[in-house]
């Protein structure tokens, strides 16, 4: 049995092909997994758990809940798009929320799970925004606003960030390798699995004489994909479109 990892699905109601892929993945590949880990940005954005009744959101939580009820543990880490997902979402979908980072014993190999945005330290503007937006005060103030207002504010933020991305260099938006190595050192030289950069890859880092694997998960913009790990290691798998 394998343990599956996905991230950066960016689910939203206006991308029906990817949504079909995701529901199919939950009903087939994930059904026979030992566990499923979703490492952030499951949604294009999440405005708050009071948006659970929205029909599309309800279809996602329902599908996750069916998988969890069938006996496959599902774990969810926040991404930068859906970091206000809370306990009501976790309850409705049967998932267990994971802190970022989370260290896991994966078939005997210590494995560090992260969304990945904290590793992109060359992007100082983003890191400054992240520090502010992840504070309890900021989140509480945001969730106190009416849902419609929150949705509009997030749309505006997304447009702004799309524009900023165009003027930022590719290097600035990628993982700073020295930051990845610092995280590996801090956690005792584990294997690292993360998403966020949308640059699927397998890296090897030599840290203080330890060789550490770093797997970067693919996004689901064009097609779905996942990382499957077992006793013999990990492999990236693409879903048929």
Binding site for Mn ion (CB under 5 A): 41, 79-80, 196
Task: Give me the least distance between CB of 56 and Mn ion, in Å please.
Answer: 20
Closest to Mn ion by CB, 91 or 165: 165
Least Å from the CB of residue 66 to Mn ion: 26
Long-range contacts of 206-209 (CB under 8 A, 24+ apart): 207/181
Q: How far is the CB of 116 from Mn ion (least distance, A)?
A: 7
Shortest distance (Å) from residue 82 CB to Mn ion: 9
Residue nearest to Mn ion as judged by C-beta position: 196
d(CA 43, CA 219) in angstroms, rounded, equals 11
- CA 87 to chain CA mean position, Å: 17
Output 75 or 189, the one with its CB closest to Mn ion: 75
Q: Rank residues 150 and 196 by Cβ distance to Mn ion and give the closer one.
A: 196
- What dihedral angle (degrees, nearest 10) is formed by the CA atoms of 240, 70, 216, 220? 40
Determine the Cα–Cα distance for residues 48 and 129; give it in Å rounded to an integer: 19
CA 12 to centroid of chain Cα atoms: 15
Q: Residue 98 in contact with residue 62, Cβ under 8 Å?
A: no
Residue 146's closest CA among 80, 235, 48? 48
Q: How far is the CB of 195 from Mn ion (least distance, A)?
A: 7
Of the pair 196, 205, the CB lying nearest Mn ion is at 196
Nearer to Mn ion, 45 or 189 (CB): 45
Taking the complex as a whole, the smallest distance from the CB of residue 73 to Mn ion amounts, in Å, to: 23
Instruction: Please tell me the chain's helix, strand, coil percentages from 3-state DSSP, rounded to the nearest 5.
Output: 40, 25, 35
CB of 48 or CB of 79, closer to Mn ion: 79
The closest alpha carbon to 16, from 59, 45, 76, belongs to 59
């Amino acid at each position: 049995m394998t343990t599956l990892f996905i991230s950066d699905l960016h689910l939203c109601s206006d991308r029906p092909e990817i949504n079909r892929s995701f529901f199919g993945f939950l009903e087939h590949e994930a059904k026979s997994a030992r566990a499923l880990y979703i490492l952030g940005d499951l949604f294009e954005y999440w405005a708050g758990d009071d948006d659970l009744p929205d029909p599309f959101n309800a279809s996602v939580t329902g599908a996750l809940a069916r998988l969890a009820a069938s006996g496959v543990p599902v774990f969810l880490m926040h991404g930068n798009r859906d970091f206000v997902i809370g306990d009501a979402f976790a309850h409705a979908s049967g998932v267990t929320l994971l802190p970022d980072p989370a260290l896991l014993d994966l078939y005997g190999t210590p494995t560090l799970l992260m969304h990945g945005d904290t590793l992109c330290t060359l992007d100082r503007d983003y890191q400054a925004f992240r520090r502010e937006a992840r504070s309890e005060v900021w989140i509480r103030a945001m969730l106190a606003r009416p849902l419609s207002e929150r949705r509009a504010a997030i749309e505006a933020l997304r447009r702004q960030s799309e524009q900023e991305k165009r003027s930022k260099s590719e290097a600035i938006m990628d993982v700073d390798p020295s930051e990845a190595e610092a995280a590996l050192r801090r956690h005792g030289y584990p294997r690292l699995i993360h998403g966020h950069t949308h640059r699927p890859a397998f890296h090897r880092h030599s840290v203080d004489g330890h060789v550490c694997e770093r797997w970067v998960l693919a996004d689901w913009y064009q097609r779905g994909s996942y990382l499957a790990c077992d006793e013999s290691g990990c492999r990236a798998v693409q879903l048929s479109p």
